[in-house]
Chain A
Amino acid sequence: MKGILKLAYKLLVNDTAKFTAMLVGITFAVFLMMFVTSMFSGVLKHASSTIINIGATVWVMDPAVNTVSNSVGMPDYVLDAVRSMQGVKYAVPLYSGGALVKLADGTYQSVTVIGLDDISLFGRPELIEGKIEDIYAENGFIVVRDAEFSKLENPHIGSELELNDHRGVVVGIAKVATSGLYGIPTLYTTYERAIQYIPNPRYTTSYVLVEPKSASDIPQIERQVETLGYRARTKEEFMQRTADFFIYQTGGGTNMLIMTLISFIVGLSLSGQTFYTFILENLERFGALKAIGTKSRELVGMILFQATFTAFTGYGLGVGLCAFLVWLAKRRLPSYAAMITYSNLAIALGMVVVIAAVSSYVGVRRVLRIEPFDIFRG
């Protein structure tokens, strides 16, 4: 079979025009599929950045919360009630809200303010400058050094901020695993300071972060929280809830699906049609091979090999091109929200396999139908 496959390979790649057209079709389709899905994956990951960075096992929230940035305040008794629930090791409050920082030039910059539990500082970021205990200092804030850091005019320890007409002092510079989706800087402070600095409605607890005694306690914690009229979600469930919101309620998911389908159809049409033309052009020669003594399964093997080789080469090129462009974009725009995941790769691979299968099915049908006698008759 090795020699026959080499023959198939030469027949394919030596037809430079068609091979290039097929490769361009599949590469383009894979690139589009990958690009769209990786953009969406990036958006979903960045949308869940606070959940990832805080790292709590269970989050208690108002049932109306769709994403971590759109919290609905809960009364203080929820925290007390959760702390007294069976299976809870400890529970702490978390504040998450927005504020305006007045810059030196008099303009305002939106920021996200995360208020950590004053006692435990649960969910604190990793500091790259300063000491965490300085967060308790007067007006202390920690600034996250991410892609948005420069929007606060690159503050350093000791820099002063004017936050909602309150004085703030930078006491630390931190780094986090994932930066946010909305392109605004993030400040960390204590819970008490956050609710003091930022005008709030009646209820101030955005989330109650829970550490269960064991993973098996989570279902009962969820049930108990539900009796309070609130919702407990694990970290993964909350991230999924956020993803579902973006997929199903913003139209983003539909757009991604449409773009992915269009890419698939473009790839299938261009490559399938070109492959079919390639087969048609060589149909009589395949018939001659049949007459000479090639078995049907060998011809099928040749066509499958040609379709698969083209598809996987195009897949590799498409993935490579997408990775290169994402890398290039991230060099220029550090907050660029695109991320190639195994799921993206698998989706594109699945579609490429379908393109290869459809193309080869059409080709195989034609080749199996050709009779050597037809070649003899001319």
Chain B
Amino acid sequence: MPNIAIQATGLVKWFGEDEAKTMALKQVSLEVQFGEMVYIVGPSGSGKTTLLSVLSGILRPNEGKVLVEGVDIWGLNSDQLADFRLGKIGFVFQDFHLFPRLTTAENAAIPLILKKKDWNEAIGQAKKYLDIVGLKSRADMPPVKLSGGEQQRVAIARALSAQPDVLIMNEPTASLDGDTGQAILSFVHKNVLNKDRCIIVVTHDDRINEFATRILKMEDGKLMGAEGKAA
């Protein structure tokens, strides 16, 4: 596996037209290597989430290129891109977005089900990931009965169940209290990050900076340079 996981060059993204035009990304370029846990930080409206969306293949840039493991993801058609995301990228959302009417295990199994795995096999595999995040005993409970931290761990299990090479975490601690947020990121750093996987985290929470291998600061649609930090 090549060491560069993501290579983005000259990313430009704007919203609206004419007078309402807002530049969200202005010639952004970056590289993320396997084994890195990169944080993107910056004030609200600086373009962090837009950059994350463009890198993960859910928002098409107006200009620029994104290579994920050497594949130009914005050269793929929508079905190929959906398959690519399902196979290579795991998502952890700010509000978890778990289905309250499914069990924890069924929620965690969703990517496997989307990959057309047999239902029981998918549930069995998802339970292994719930075990990894310490929630095996809650596998048959609905997520609404879990605490915020536990729900976020279910979301991580869901993201991991498809064994992605790239894990995208958008404000993963925003809905959690400080201690729980730290515990989650510590867990991710220790148990999820490995030499074959990279993690990109968008966050406002500087209490979790200790887990980052590199921190990139965004301001006004531009990457302002790395706040370098050793792994």
Chain A interface (Cβ < 8 Å from any Cβ of B): 1-4, 6-7, 10-11, 14-15, 282, 284-285, 287-296, 298, 371-373, 375-378
Closest residue of chain A to B113, judged by CB? Answer: A3
25 contacts between A and B (CB under 8 A): A1-B116, A3-B116, A3-B118, A3-B119, A4-B113, A284-B95, A288-B93, A290-B82, A291-B56, A291-B58, A292-B114, A292-B162, A293-B82, A293-B84, A293-B111, A293-B114, A295-B82, A298-B114, A372-B58, A373-B58, A373-B59, A375-B93, A376-B53, A376-B93, A377-B49
Q: Which 10 A-B pairs have the closest CB atoms?
A: A293-B86, A14-B101, A288-B97, A372-B58, A3-B113, A293-B85, A373-B59, A293-B82, A295-B82, A373-B53
**Bound Cα distance from A151 to B59, whole angstroms:** 80
The residues of B that contact A282 with a CB separation of less than 8 Å are 99
Tell me which of B97, B114, B118 contacts A285 (CB under 8 A): B97
Tell me which of A2, A287, A292 contacts B111 (CB under 8 A): A292
A76 to B: closest C-beta gap in Å = 78
**Bound Cα distance from A296 to B85, whole angstroms:** 14
Render B95-110 as a binary contact track against A, CB cut-off 8 A, 1 for contact. 1011101100010001
Render B140-177 as a binary contact track against A, CB cut-off 8 A, 1 for contact. 00000000000000000000001000000011000000
Asked if B83 contacts A15 (CB within 8 A), the reply is: no
Closest residue of chain A to B171, judged by CB? Answer: A378
The residues of B that contact A295 with a CB separation of less than 8 Å are 78-79, 82
**Bound Cα distance from A289 to B93, whole angstroms:** 11
**Bound Cα distance from A22 to B36, whole angstroms:** 49
8 A Cβ contacts from B28-55 to A: 49-50, 52-53
**Bound Cα distance from A7 to B78, whole angstroms:** 22
The residues of A that contact B119 with a CB separation of less than 8 Å are 2-3, 6
**Bound Cα distance from A287 to B97, whole angstroms:** 9
**Bound Cα distance from A33 to B84, whole angstroms:** 49
The residues of A that contact B93 with a CB separation of less than 8 Å are 288, 291, 375-376, 378
The residues of B that contact A377 with a CB separation of less than 8 Å are 49
Closest residue of chain A to B116, judged by CB? Answer: A3
**Bound Cα distance from A378 to B50, whole angstroms:** 12
Pick the most buried of A1, A289, A292: most chain B CB atoms within 10 A of its CB.
A292
The residues of B that contact A296 with a CB separation of less than 8 Å are 78
The residues of B that contact A284 with a CB separation of less than 8 Å are 95, 97
B117 within 8 Å of A by Cβ? yes
The residues of A that contact B186 with a CB separation of less than 8 Å are none
B122 within 8 Å of A by Cβ? yes
**Bound Cα distance from A294 to B116, whole angstroms:** 11
B194 within 8 Å of A by Cβ? no
Render B63-101 as a binary contact track against A, CB cut-off 8 A, 1 for contact. 000000000000000110011111101010111011101
Asked if B52 contacts A3 (CB within 8 A), the reply is: no
**Bound Cα distance from A4 to B102, whole angstroms:** 13
**Bound Cα distance from A230 to B171, whole angstroms:** 88
Known: A10-B102, A293-B83, A293-B114; 16 extra A-B contacts, CB below 8 A, are A3-B117, A4-B114, A10-B101, A288-B91, A288-B93, A291-B56, A291-B85, A292-B91, A292-B110, A293-B85, A294-B86, A295-B79, A295-B82, A296-B78, A376-B53, A377-B49
